Structure 1
Amino acid sequence: MKIIFAVLTSLFLYNALQAQSVLQDSLVARYNRNDFSGFYNLGSASWKSKTNPDGIDGWLHYMRSQTGPVMRSTLVTDSGKTQYFIWEGAKKMMTFKLTLSDTDGYEGFDFQSYHLPKARAYAAPIPNDNPLKTHLDSAVHYNTADFMLTHHLVGLSICVVSNGHKHFYNYGTVEKGKTQLPTSRTIFELASLAKTFTSILLAQAVLDHKISLDDDIRKFMPGSFPNLQYQEAPLKIVNLANHTSGLPVELPNLDTFKNEFDVLKMYDHYTNDKFFADLRSVKIDTLPGARYGYSNAGMKLLGIILEKAYGLSYPQLLKKYITGPLDMPATRTGLAVSDTTSYTKGYNADGMTMPHGNWNMFGGAAAIISDSYDMANYVKANIDEILPAIRLSHKQTFTDGDFMMGLGWQISRNTINGTRIWKSGGALGFRSYCAVVPDKKMGITWLSNRSDLAEDEIQEMVDQILSVAKQ
């Protein structure tokens, strides 16, 4: 009798495991072919009765864009009711949590960040120049190796500034197929980190009485723009710097172009006159200053306004007020789109080599290139707030609950390291991040030659590194 019971028990467990395996395989298959309604339909009747299919569709669509297709699914924990799988996606690895139903299908699921065991991260054969002598070195190495392996990165250049000391770390390669480690002098696109430079230039213009933050932006624009107001309330200079202008994300509308290469071809001939013509077609539908809405167009316009106020080009302003005083000789505006030799190659989420940006494309919004050596000086200057313009750029100008903006900088209070002043950037082939914690005398710049990385995951990694840097 005991033998029969044991056989029946084993058979029951086997069938249950087989059913669970079939369910997991079915979920992965539907996820990979973007069949999100099919994914939803595998849920239990009780789960579907209280879950909006449109919400699930949007969530899965976003996660699929982050992970790419799942190449392998591995069960790592099984409590009987809840299972945890490692989903190894083409773009990054994730933890997939699946809650099983007592009847049929699943009762819920979730995606969570996946982190490698420390032993595996430390043993990873990633080229690097980390000396691994201090606690900071170890924190940088684990968090960087973990991030690179789980996100399939190509190369990284990092500088950490702590109590006036600069620490440089480089990982990976400057180009796929080569074994060329980046250095602190390897040039990357800063992408939207350039907005912090533009905002410091704005702060300098305020201190020089060239511009007031409350000025109507049309004071510095050619011709008439009656459309750049809402119920007679004009767009102000400060609205451009803290993204509360109501201007669109981009001008022109980039959704009309088929791919990145077509966009760049268009921007190669995109003049200020064309930009102003596009601005005349904009309709402002909310009170300026009332609502945050990220706008590259607004920052590009701010760069043009600064040129008008000073009678100098943006590159001249950059050198006179920032890169010259802060000893940043490698930091400059990007070259023509045809240039592919002066700095590292960038890659998109699918590993394709992306073309470099150019001045016409980004302007004051994202046209600057630099290296981690120069950026260490920039980070230190922002930690110490050695220039009055830097100090002014850090002052809060907009708040919406826990969301706060200075001039170009985002402000996050009550992080694990205190008040963090930061900005991230993303270009066609690059991702960047810069953060300073003035109260703790520390900061970091993180430069990567791959785009599409999630901001919250970069922040999590950066916070872990800074938590050791402050010790």
Structure 2
Amino acid sequence: MKREWLRRDLLKAAPALAFSATPVGLRAAVSVGPIAPLLATFLKEAKADGISVAIVRNGVTHYHDAGFAVREGARASKDTAYEIGSITKTFTGLILAHAIQEKRVALADDIRRYLPSGFDNLAKDGRAVTFADIVTTTSALPDNIPDWHSALGNPTPAELPLRVTQFYKDYTASDFLRDLAKAKLVDTPGKETRHSNTASQLLGILLSRIYGQSYPTLVARYIEKPFGMRGGTGAISPARLAIGYDETAMPALSLPIVLPAGGLRYGTADMARYLEGQIAARDPAVAQTQQPLWGTPEHQAIGFHWIIAKAADSQLYYRHSGGSFGCSSYCDFYPALRYGIVLLTNRGNGDVQYQLEQLAGAIHVAVFGAPAGLALLQRTLEATDYADVPGSVAAVRRQHPELHLNEDRVNEWGYRLLFAKRARAAAAIFAYNVAAHPDSANAHDSYADALTEIGDKTGAIAEYERALMLNPNNDHSAEKLKTLRKGT
């Protein structure tokens, strides 16, 4: 849910790429379009120094690079090693899948079986944290332990990167387990998806205990050597290493304790090999990581950290993004198309991750063309000024039954209209989403935003109230309600 509220603002940040926001799918293939201008636009909009892209298609990889790996230094290339951030979690999940294939553990195992005594806190409401909870992001473990802000003296955003890297410099697995024993689960395990670096750090420690080998050794054994990748866990030649930036140069996040959650570093040449292995999925462990464990691809599912969904033409695809203090990353792949893409940049913060996703969608359109069903729906709705969204969708589906409109896709469409000052058209799209997803707090929240813009205060209040009833933690709805009620 937080992801979609964030997108309300992020769509403003990438106007040149906004109408390519949704990953698309199978259509008659066309030659690769003007990717260089898309990269140039990204560098400008994201204020990034450099970007490296690898496109894998039918076993052939094409590389595209722009800008600099280091300011006033080396240019970005396929060999430039970037911090890949949370994409690392899919690596850690794959090692777990190997452990499962080898019958060392089971997905449903209580993780406390593999820890010393003293971790009664890793259960709540009679439900213990399992391996499945970790790889589906439903562990209910806190995001970071100890909490970055309180443990580090509430640093400002500018101070945080250096404080974190200094704190974790000598922080060991023993320190982590000591602090883990004091942590509190934020919810019942298995109930809700939440980002947690703690969960993947713990998984890395558990795997090391199970195998009696270090995490870097396991990465090399199960991923780098089989896929033919260079090492991403140890020292990397300064000539290859990108410097990460967020306005200024950021400290590297190459800390041992962080490694299983977001500390791997690779170039697109190596990440292309990783994607090739995912697309082929010949290894049973790789195939297992691609099975949905939480949710459904009709909306969104999760399998061993991969987010699994259907594109606008019903093609199944997998995606993940990541970010460190100074780098951002995004990758997705479509097994049926034998297509995948990875994008790495030396610019940090969450906005850039989303802009990379936008760019990946734009490149996909350049390669395959827009899906016919989605293109026809866009033309139909524009011709009628969104007068009958449900009727238009039904008519297009009679010609293109493959047309798939999940909640997120429709929600983004609505916000593009809203930011284009077309509030009534946006309200029509959001109303369709609410009807299709009546139990989604985010759908009601978005609809209320459009109703506010067209001056329907009564309707907006009702929709924000419904959003809050469905999700009492919806801060955006709560704030908007306060503002609207002051004027009544």
Q: TM-score, normalised to structure 1's length?
A: 0.69
Q: Partners in 2 of 1:112 and 1:145 — Cα distance?
A: 15
1:286 aligned onto 2:187: yes
* Residue 155 (structure 1) aligns with: 50
Alignment of 1:227-376 (within 5 A): 227-256=121-150, 257=152, 258=155, 259=159, 260-329=161-230, 331-335=231-235, 343-348=241-246, 351-376=247-272
Q: Structure 1, residues 66-92: CA drift from partner, whole Å, max 9, x if none?
A: 7xxxxxxxxxxxxxxxxxxxxxxxxxx
Q: Partners in 1 of 2:240 and 2:291 — Cα distance?
A: 36
Cα RMSD of the aligned pairs, angstroms, is: 2.6
The answer on whether the counterparts of 1:190 and 1:369 sit within 8 Å (CA) in structure 2 is yes
Shift of 1:135: 6.0
| Cα pair distance change 1:138/1:275, threshold 3 Å | same
Q: Structure 1, residues 213-271: CA drift from partner, whole Å, max 9, x if none?
A: 00000011122211110122111011111110100111110113322111111100111
The answer on whether the counterparts of 1:264 and 1:361 sit within 8 Å (CA) in structure 2 is no
Shift of 1:456: 3.6
1:193 aligned onto 2:87: yes
Q: Structure 1, residues 138-167: CA drift from partner, whole Å, max 9, x if none?
A: 342232122112222100111000111110
Amino acid paired to 1:436 = F
Shift of 1:298: 0.1
Shift of 1:361: 4.2
Which is richer in strand? Answer: 1
The answer on whether the counterparts of 2:322 and 2:353 sit within 8 Å (CA) in structure 1 is no
* Residue 90 (structure 1) aligns with: none
Q: Partners in 2 of 1:145 and 1:219 — Cα distance?
A: 51
**Identity rate, percent:** 27
The answer on whether the counterparts of 1:162 and 1:470 sit within 8 Å (CA) in structure 2 is no
Q: Structure 1, residues 301-333: CA drift from partner, whole Å, max 9, x if none?
A: 01111111111111111111110011002x321
Q: Structure 1, residues 256-305: CA drift from partner, whole Å, max 9, x if none?
A: 33221111111001111111111112222432111111100000101111
Alignment of 1:171-190 (within 5 A): 171-178=66-73, 180-190=74-84
The answer on whether the counterparts of 2:172 and 2:257 sit within 8 Å (CA) in structure 1 is no
The answer on whether the counterparts of 1:417 and 1:467 sit within 8 Å (CA) in structure 2 is no
Shift of 1:112: 7.0
Q: Structure 1, residues 176-224: CA drift from partner, whole Å, max 9, x if none?
A: 223x321211111111111111111111110000110000000111222
Alignment of 1:203-242 (within 5 A): 203-242=97-136
Q: Partners in 2 of 1:263 and 1:340 — Cα distance?
A: 22
Amino acid paired to 2:113 = K
SS in 2 for 1:248: coil
1:457 aligned onto 2:355: yes
Amino acid paired to 1:382 = Q
| Cα pair distance change 1:287/1:116, threshold 3 Å | closer
Q: Partners in 2 of 1:116 and 1:399 — Cα distance?
A: 29
Structure 2 unmatched ranges of 5 or more: 19-28, 370-488
* Residue 304 (structure 2) aligns with: 407
Q: Structure 1, residues 367-400: CA drift from partner, whole Å, max 9, x if none?
A: 2111111111111111111221111001101117
* Residue 451 (structure 2) aligns with: none
Amino acid paired to 1:463 = G
Q: Partners in 2 of 1:434 and 1:136 — Cα distance?
A: 21
Q: Partners in 2 of 1:309 and 1:201 — Cα distance?
A: 11
SS in 2 for 1:469: helix
Larger radius of gyration between Structure 1 and Structure 2: 1
Q: Partners in 2 of 1:140 and 1:416 — Cα distance?
A: 23
* Residue 167 (structure 1) aligns with: 62
SS in 2 for 1:138: coil
Alignment of 1:64-83 (within 5 A): none
Q: Partners in 2 of 1:220 and 1:199 — Cα distance?
A: 17
The answer on whether the counterparts of 2:145 and 2:183 sit within 8 Å (CA) in structure 1 is no
Range moving further from structure 2, 414-423 or 318-327? 414-423
Shift of 1:341: 6.5
| Alignment partner of 2:15 out of 90, 114, 136 | 114
May I ask how many residue pairs the two structures share in their alignment? Answer: 346
Q: Structure 1, residues 102-153: CA drift from partner, whole Å, max 9, x if none?
A: xxxxxxxxx4742189xxxxxxxxxxxxxxxx96543422321221122221
* Residue 447 (structure 1) aligns with: 344
Q: Partners in 1 of 2:123 and 2:215 — Cα distance?
A: 26
Q: Partners in 2 of 1:209 and 1:116 — Cα distance?
A: 46
Shift of 1:460: 2.2
Q: TM-score, normalised to structure 2's length?
A: 0.66
* Residue 366 (structure 2) aligns with: 468
The answer on whether the counterparts of 1:213 and 1:238 sit within 8 Å (CA) in structure 2 is yes
Q: Partners in 2 of 1:116 and 1:403 — Cα distance?
A: 23
Amino acid paired to 2:125 = Q
Shift of 1:404: 1.5
* Residue 426 (structure 1) aligns with: 323
The answer on whether the counterparts of 1:136 and 1:465 sit within 8 Å (CA) in structure 2 is no
Q: Partners in 2 of 1:185 and 1:456 — Cα distance?
A: 23
Shift of 1:340: 6.5
Amino acid paired to 1:181 = R
Q: Partners in 2 of 1:445 and 1:417 — Cα distance?
A: 21
| Cα pair distance change 1:268/1:341, threshold 3 Å | farther
Shift of 1:416: 5.5
SS in 2 for 1:147: helix
Amino acid paired to 1:210 = R
Q: Partners in 1 of 2:59 and 2:314 — Cα distance?
A: 17
SS in 2 for 1:360: coil
Structure 1 unmatched ranges of 5 or more: 1-58, 67-93, 95-110, 118-133
SS in 2 for 1:447: strand
Which is richer in helix? Answer: 2
| Cα pair distance change 1:341/1:465, threshold 3 Å | closer
Q: Structure 1, residues 394-418: CA drift from partner, whole Å, max 9, x if none?
A: 1101117823111011112234572
Amino acid paired to 2:85 = A
| Cα pair distance change 1:136/1:272, threshold 3 Å | farther
The answer on whether the counterparts of 1:154 and 1:174 sit within 8 Å (CA) in structure 2 is yes
The answer on whether the counterparts of 1:345 and 1:449 sit within 8 Å (CA) in structure 2 is yes
Q: Partners in 2 of 1:458 and 1:289 — Cα distance?
A: 30
Q: Partners in 2 of 1:446 and 1:116 — Cα distance?
A: 15
SS in 1 for 2:210: helix
Query: RCO (CA 8 Å, sep 6+): is it higher in 1 or 2?
Result: 2
SS in 2 for 1:421: strand
